[in-house]
Amino acid sequence: MVVGLRHFTDRDGGGAGEPVLDAGSGEELMHVQPGVSIALANRPPESPGTLYISTKQVMWLSDVDRAKGYAVDFLSLSLHAISRDPEAYSSPCIYTQIETEADEDESEGSDAEGDQIFDLTKITEMRLIPTDPSQLDTLFQIFCECAELNPEPIEEEDGEEHNWVFNADQIENQDAEGEDSEWNFSHNPTNTIGHSNGNHDLAQSVLELQINDQRFEDAEEMEHESHRSNDERSPSA
């Protein structure tokens, strides 16, 4: 499930300290960067706050309004990059794209009631603007490290993991029975020939080569035996 950007105001110290992390799931704080403004979609930047980067999410907390803050999981970030081009944006920043489940035809970040409330589920772009642009490379590197800690889950087709091994006899049976028959599986982890992770063509191609080699060897042996039989039947000179 894609969560996207969300409001976040959970702080230690009675709402005045660092963000509360989910220590039970192993979340750890990786970096704290004060003096960072945040700009959501095409809205103007918020007043500077503090950026917190954990092993699971990016959090921004306002230094002016203790009740204002945002967070987004790394699993919801589809892209992050350094932007220094003034034609792309007026200030050097970390540019991110956010995956959401909002309808595409709905206007991004449209206000629900005037300019005070807007729907975070429609925000697909976020810019983090440090007052010290020299920190951009450090922030980018930390983003990269944390993104690697949160790889995108691999969706299994039909709820099953296809990790197949076929042997030569099974491929021959498949060809004989027709295209509508089911594959037979051999759970031999030591047999890497024809091992496929959802790729039938790869397994079949490798094993067909093995089958053809075996057939060639059988034909050679039969021809050799035929010659030997003829020699044994021929009269002696």
Q: What is the pLDDT of residues 103-144, one digit of tens each?
A: 554 545 544 434 446 789 899 999 999 999 999 999 999 999
**Per-residue confidence band for 26, with pLDDT thresholds at 50, 70 and 90:** very high
218-235 pLDDT, tens digit each: 555 666 666 666 666 655
Q: Average pLDDT in the 177-191 region?
A: 44
Domains and CATH numbers, the chain: 5-105+118-149 (2.30.29.30)
* The residue count for the chain: 237
Cα distances (Å, whole numbers) of residue 232 to 8, 223, 237: 92, 14, 12
- Axis-axis angle for helices 200-233, 168-177 (nearest 10): 100
